[in-house]
Structure 1
Amino acid sequence: MDKKEFRVLLKYCFLKGKNSIEAKTWLDAEFPDTVPGKSTIKDWHAKVRSGEMSTEDGERNGRPKEVVTDENIKKSTK
């Protein structure tokens, strides 16, 4: 399973009233080989608890995707 799917499951656990420890225990029982670590679950649970209900990755600092275009590549090879 990927991160987004685990975030959806964690959101489900939160909406069912489970805390992060109960959610981790349930996820460990259902997906023993692929479940994220305890600190990751705790962080995601805190975000959901604070009202961030999105299961998508957030924006990150760094170079935007638009920088790497065919036009820019041609310019840099001249």
Structure 2
Amino acid sequence: MDKKEFRVLIKYCFLKGKSTVEAKTWLDAEVPDTAPGKSTIKDWYAKFRHGEMSTENGEHSEGPKEVVTDENILKNPQNDFE
């Protein structure tokens, strides 16, 4: 199983009302050799509690809206470099 699939299973446990301990116990029983650790489960539960329901990796899910170039800087009327 890859990380994304584990995140979905952790979210499933969260939505079913399982505690982090119950989620860890269930995952250990289902996939004993590859189940994520307690801290990983706690981290994802914290994100879900704060309303971050995406199971995507945060460091890759958002990025700059556009590339910063000299041309883009000069187009922006808020930049007064003259």
> What TM-score does the superposition give when structure 2 sets the normalisation length?
0.69
One-letter code aligned to 1:2:
D
Match of 1:19 in 2: 19
The number of equivalent residue pairs is: 61
> How many angstroms apart in 1 are the aligned matches of 2:13 and 2:29?
14
**In the TM superposition, what whole-angstrom CA distance separates every residue of 1:5-25 from its partner, at most 9, and x where no partner exists?**
011001111111101111011
Match of 2:6 in 1: 6
**Runs of 4 or more consecutive aligned structure 1 residues displaced over 4 Å after TM superposition:** none
Task: Quote the offset at 1:59 in angstroms.
Answer: 2.4
One-letter code aligned to 1:43:
D
Larger Rg: 2
Match of 1:37 in 2: 37
Greater relative contact order (CA < 8 Å, ≥ 6 in sequence): 1
Percent identity, please.
82
One-letter code aligned to 1:18:
K
> What TM-score does the superposition give when structure 1 sets the normalisation length?
0.72
Give unpaired runs (5+ residues) of structure 1.
65-78
